[in-house]
Structure 1
Amino acid sequence: MSDTGNGDFEFERRFLARDVPAEMLDDAPALIVQSYFLAEDGYALRVRAQVPALPAPPEPGADERALLEAYAEHVDFCAVTVKGPMVGGTRYEAERELDPEIGVQMVRRGGSRVAKLRHAVWLGDDGWVVDVFLGANAGLVVAEVERGGPVTDLAIPTFCVTELTADARFANDALAVRPYRGWAGEWEAELARTGPRFLPGFGHDHRMV
């Protein structure tokens, strides 16, 4: 969580991403493997291990535990985080940094895991992250923007297909318990039936040219 000046709260919006331009993706993205020791009704207790820049591409098809083991010696940041439910683009989040050796052992030993490659990109006036999920959530790409206050009047990139901010199924803690790969077809049918959705009440959002 970034230091927003709003205490233990984060302000973010999330979108399903497709066809992200290659030039917006890092050559050496960060690898994140996180383990959820509690994930229920939007409440979560998470331990995250992060590799700042992958020294080599991950093995295709590797699961979350295998990814952790492959890069454990490169982890330079770990944290334990408590989260509350997302409400209108705002979520309680309290985080404490851990010694990397302890953090890796925690992720290794327990909880339901999520793994992803994180790309950072600056678009317009906002810093975005593009998370390319791995393991049981492979095939899912989520773009996220976070600010120090409510994310209003947002310039939304064209690669953002539909908004996921209020869809609890796409929260990382939910994906750890019910991975995307198991219901991707169901979701695609739903999206085709309902069409893209973007949340109202966030000022004057517009599509980025």
Structure 2
Amino acid sequence: MTNQKKNSNLEIERKFLVKSERFKNYSDKEERIVQGFLNTNPERTVRIRIKGNKGYITVKGKSNETGLSRFEWEKEISVAEADSLLKIAEPGIIEKLRYEVKSEKHTFEIDVFAGDNTGLIIAEVELQSEDEVFNKPDWLGAEVTGIAKYYNSQLSKNPFKLW
């Protein structure tokens, strides 16, 4: 049976390394993101994010066996609130530029990491079901869905520069 997206609190996504910056030729949006974690326990992460001129608090549950699906709840908060919460976040603030690229009916979010994660570029695509078919642009590299070291919560503790 297919795991269908039953409600807005279920996130189904696949992650890939990016092997070329050609995606920038197709991007129609770029935003700076700064984020930190109040909790990086794999059972429930609590993320604080400033994306552009908006703040967010997000709670994510543990991924399922395939690594494709997990609970996600997000609420917009003010940038001032997000900034205050980032001050008490666990060590390891993440900075990145996010690009969006439309590919047929899907949108890829490509994160170009900065700081301690410079050199790492990851693309994500959200799906309606775990077995949904989508077009893979030629700039996508190896799939890293479900590999914990590529989760932002883990990159905050064990950054790419230490690999």
If the TM-score is normalised by the length of the shorter chain, which range does it land in? Answer: 0.7 to 0.9
Shift of the alpha carbon at 1:7? 3.2
Aligned to 1:24: 26
Aligned to 1:80: 57
Higher mean Cα deviation, 146-155 or 10-19?
Answer: 146-155
Runs (4+) of structure 1 exceeding 2 A deviation are 40-43, 108-112, 147-151
Matches within 5 A, 1:39-188: 39-41=40-42, 43-51=44-52, 76-87=53-64, 88=66, 89-111=68-90, 112-150=92-130, 152-183=132-163
Which of 1 and 2 has higher RCO (CA within 8 Å, sep 6+)? 2
Shift of the alpha carbon at 1:155? 1.6
Greater percentage in helix? 1
| CA deviation map 1:4-52 (0-9, x unaligned) | 76131111101000113141245x720111111111235311111111x
Higher mean Cα deviation, 115-124 or 15-24?
Answer: 15-24
Aligned to 1:187: none
Unaligned runs of 5+ in 1: 52-75, 184-209
Calculate the TM-score normalised by the size of structure 2. 0.86
RMSD (Å) for aligned C-alpha atoms: 1.8
Structure 2: how far apart are the matches of 1:29 and 1:141?
A: 14
Pair member with larger Rg: 1
Q: Is the Cα contact below 8 Å between 1:42 and 1:168 reproduced in 2?
A: no
SS of the residue aligned with 1:86? Answer: coil
Greater percentage in strand? 2
SS of the residue aligned with 1:119? Answer: strand
Unaligned runs of 5+ in 2: none
Identity %: 28
